Amino acid sequence: MAPRRKAPRRRAKKSFNISAIEAGTALSLAQSTGFADSVQTALNGNLKGAINNMSAKVMSNKSKIIGTLGAAAVAKFAAKGFASGTLAKLGPLRVKL
């Protein structure tokens, strides 16, 4: 009788993808809303100040936020036409459109 072969083990992928459009949009929105300052204020225990700070930044940057979201939507729509969505590859990191 032949010895049994072990079942093949699944290996985790050694690379991961990052959407350039989504990452850029997220960074722009985080900057426009004062996210980092608000999180730091909340971590210091001043939750009310953090919410007030973020709401003030959102209200003052409304047009920039709307423009960012509109540009991201147009870019996502335009990027669907590319055959290969990979913008850059560096080791295990792939930047995709």
Domain borders along the chain are 18-77
Please enumerate in sequence order all residues whose Cβ is within 8 A of that of 75, keeping only pairs 6 or more positions apart, or say none.
Answer: 21, 97
**CB-CB neighbours of 25 under 10 Å:** 18
CA 16 to CA 93: how far, in whole Å? 6
More confident: 80 or 56: 56
Instruction: Tell me the per-residue pLDDT of 54-77, one tens digit each, with 9 for 90 and over.
Output: 999 999 999 999 999 988 888 888
* SS3 assignment, position 44: coil
CA 51 to CA 42: how far, in whole Å? 8
More confident: 58 or 8: 58
Instruction: Considering only CA atoms, give the Rg of the chain.
Output: 21
* SS3 assignment, position 54: helix
Instruction: Tell me the per-residue pLDDT of 20-60, one tens digit each, with 9 for 90 and over.
Output: 888 888 899 999 999 999 999 999 999 999 999 999 999 99
pLDDT of residue 17: 76
